[in-house]
Amino acid sequence: MSANSPAAVVVLAAGGGTRMKSNSLPKVLHEVCGRSLVGHAVAAAEELTPQHLVVVIGHMREKVAEHLAAHHPAARAVVQEEQNGTGHAVRTALESLEADGVELNGTVIVTTGDAPLLTGESLSALAAAHADQGNGVTVLTAVVPDPFGYGRILRDGTDGAVAAIVEEKDASDAQRAIDEINSGVFAFDAKLLVRALAEVTTDNAQGEEYLTDTLEILRRAGHRVGAVVAADHRDILGINDRVQLAQARRLLNDRLLDRAMRAGVTVVDPATTWFDVQVSYEPDAVVLPNTQLQGATHLGEGCEVGPNSTLRDTRIGAGARVSNTTADRAEVGEFAAAGPYAYLRPGARLARKAKVGTYVEVKNSELGEGAKVPHLSYIGDATIGEGTNVGAASVTVNYDGVNKHRTVIGAHCRTGSDNMFIAPVTVGDGAYTGAGSVISSDVPAGALGVGRAQQRNIAGWVERKRPGTTSAQAAAAAAERAEEAAAEA
């Protein structure tokens, strides 16, 4: 915590968000690029290392409180029992701190829980300007292309201080032409904020306590009301419906991709590539079209991911290649390969130069260095040793209907196609297994394991049991040709 840290940041996240049209999820828990709306607000606030971080909750409070406890345990959740306006929400937060013996001195930042593009840099600039200018309150504003519907900032012509905020419905034609708008984000002197909130009334059309009323209260008391213009007007965009949610996701994704490309990542088609905020990467990684990187996925140096891949919480090693693959909580080692059309489930770990090929599913299993499962196989709860090749259409039969069991295949083994490994079972180092085998007992190192029934052919079965079918007709024709050939011989 630095000496310039604000005394508190208060995040307003109690609203119902009725325009989201959701019966099960509060607005602030809708996600943008892998993080909830309120999570974005809290993450931006945490960059300021405030002495106290308070999130005011109300609508579906249990869900919001549970989410904060799981993802932002340092944030204090304070319940606004009745949503009586933004001023009432801030007063509720301050009263909660006061009840715990907290006396605030310094700056209090008030921000909203539905503005996912607002950055810690913008909040830091607001806090710094507030301190430098000695304001009683400082407003974060933005100059926007279309200010319709927003409160306009009226500035004093002498020193540029904020003279008033005029709402759209109350503005004159000249005031509606102003393109600087209020963001709803403020920096206050803590002591002045407490006194101003005590003077806020509900004498308005909504019968609520408006935080913006404190600006006029402080200005009348002789305190300067300042303003800081956001470097990017899109920082302040709030989310009210799912259309705006999608627009914010696109904007934030563009920022994330821009940051990755400037750090040395090649994104071939940004229009079809999506990153979550937790994604990390190293230089010279390549992301091919129609790829989604979710959660804490990491791209190693020089790896190539995509096209048509979705990776969640997955680590890709340097030089690895992942094509047309879905992976969840998996690890692909250096110079390893997955796909096309592979499915790596939780616990799948591919060591250096290992390969999982076409239509292969791997779950809770390790492939040793250079091990290969090239095609059409299921590897679940297994350990595959280095240099081993697993034949096509092989399955580790890991579930007995009650419990999962493990298959161990040693180093440098060669297993035949269409093998069933009935776990628990171990195949020793250097062993082979025959094609079509059901391996239900351990195979010693260096041995050949064969587990299949002896073939027998029942002559004439098709013509007797399936008369009149095309198969029977083909069989009869073949028999005639054989008889003719025998006669000619």
Angle between helices 190-199 and 86-99 (to 10 degrees): 120
Has 375 been annotated as catalytic? yes
Report DSSP state, residue 138: E
Tell me if 414 sits within 8 A of 430, measured CB to CB. Answer: no
Provide the CB-side half-sphere exposure for 318 (13 A, CA).
Answer: 4
178, two tokens? 């102003």
Structure tokens at 134: 């000695």
| Best CA proximity match to 90, nearest among 185, 206, 204, 221 | 185
Quickly tell me which residue has 């999130």 as its tokens.
Answer: 55
Residue of 30, 88, 223, 375 marked catalytic? 375
CA distances from 46 to 10, 40, 109, 190, 255 (A): 11, 10, 12, 19, 20
CA atoms within 13 A on the CB side of 197: 19
Q: Are 465 and 471 in contact (CB under 8 A)?
A: no
CB count in 10 Å sphere of residue 23: 6
Sign for the CA dihedral angle at 204, 209, 211, 215 comes to positive
Residue 15: closest CA among 240, 245, 244, 249: 240
Query: Counting every residue, how long is the chain?
Result: 489
Collapsing DSSP to helix, strand or coil, 25 comes out as coil
SS3 315: strand
Residues with Cβ within 8 Å of 87's Cβ and at least 6 positions away in sequence, in order, are 197, 200, 208, 209, 210, 211, 213, 214
Q: Is 285 exposed, middle or buried (0-12, 13-18, 19+ CB in 10 A)?
A: buried
Show which residues are catalytic.
Answer: 375
